[in-house]
Chains A and B, each alone.
Chain A
Amino acid sequence: DQQVKQNSPSLSVQEGRISILNCDYTNSMFDYFLWYKKYPAEGPTFLISISSIKDKNEDGRFTVFLNKSAKHLSLHIVPSQPGDSAVYFCAASGRTGTASKLTFGTGTRLQVTL
């Protein structure tokens, strides 16, 4: 049962444009949503997070939007840079029960082209 889904395995964006990565979840017990970036041969690196009481969180070029009614979140990167090319994972967790561990999506590979 895939509780966190990233339906786009890959995305290609031109340098300077906006990258939008999407994520859907099914468990209504999730309270926290996080995005991680992963380069080959390295562990995932935490990027940005949002709690369920907010609908937007911004950190520099990265903004995460949360739509609780649609159980959907997205990560916007503006402007995209070649160094942003990596695999992006969304993850979710909650305070109780089956949600109390950090559950990851399968990732979206972002390629930023010149």
Chain B
Amino acid sequence: KAGVTQTPRYLIKTRGQQVTLSCSPISGHRSVSWYQQTPGQGLQFLFEYFSETQRNKGNFPGRFSGRQFSNSRSEMNVSTLELGDSALYLCASSLQGADTGSPLHFGNGTRLTVT
């Protein structure tokens, strides 16, 4: 089975711009979660989608949004970029979602740099 695929791997954007990140989950996985990783902060939960519905949301401002399509692929959007948004953004998929103990399988992430 192909793993979780995230595109692009690297992005450089300017403050104030917006960005869209893409994630293709493992075939058959219906849950997609997004995390932000910054040095010293570990992995911070952004949101989880299950069958096109947002099931859970972390403590991030409304500039961070996402969606999931009928084929389970997901996109994450960040508007009005700030320097502090520079981070590794990780997408993970699972069969049934984190609330069932089903392990999350991660992609290799998108490294976003905001200048």
Chain A residues with CB under 8 Å of chain B are: 31-32, 34, 36, 41-46, 49, 51, 89, 91, 93-96, 99-107
B109 within 8 A of A: yes
Chain A residue at smallest Cβ distance from B103: A46
Are B4 and A43 touching (Cβ within 8 A)? yes
Chain A residue at smallest Cβ distance from B92: A43
Q: How far is the CA of A16 from the CA of B45 in the complex (A)?
A: 35
Contacts of B55 in A (CB 8 A): 100
Chain B residues with CB under 8 Å of chain A are: 4, 33, 35, 40-43, 45, 48, 55-56, 58, 90, 92, 98-101, 103-109
Which of B56, B98, B107 contacts A43, CB < 8 Å?
Answer: B107
Q: How far is the CA of A41 from the CA of B42 in the complex (A)?
A: 14
Are B42 and A89 touching (Cβ within 8 A)? yes
Are A106 and B42 touching (Cβ within 8 A)? yes
Shortest distance from the beta carbon of A55 to any chain B beta carbon, whole Å: 16
Q: How far is the CA of A105 from the CA of B58 in the complex (A)?
A: 15
| Interface hub of B43, B100, B104, B106 (most chain A Cβ within 10 A) | B43
| Interface hub of A45, A94, A101 (most chain B Cβ within 10 A) | A101
Are B98 and A104 touching (Cβ within 8 A)? no
Are B90 and A93 touching (Cβ within 8 A)? no
Q: How far is the CA of A5 from the CA of B105 in the complex (A)?
A: 22
Are B42 and A94 touching (Cβ within 8 A)? no
Are B43 and A44 touching (Cβ within 8 A)? yes
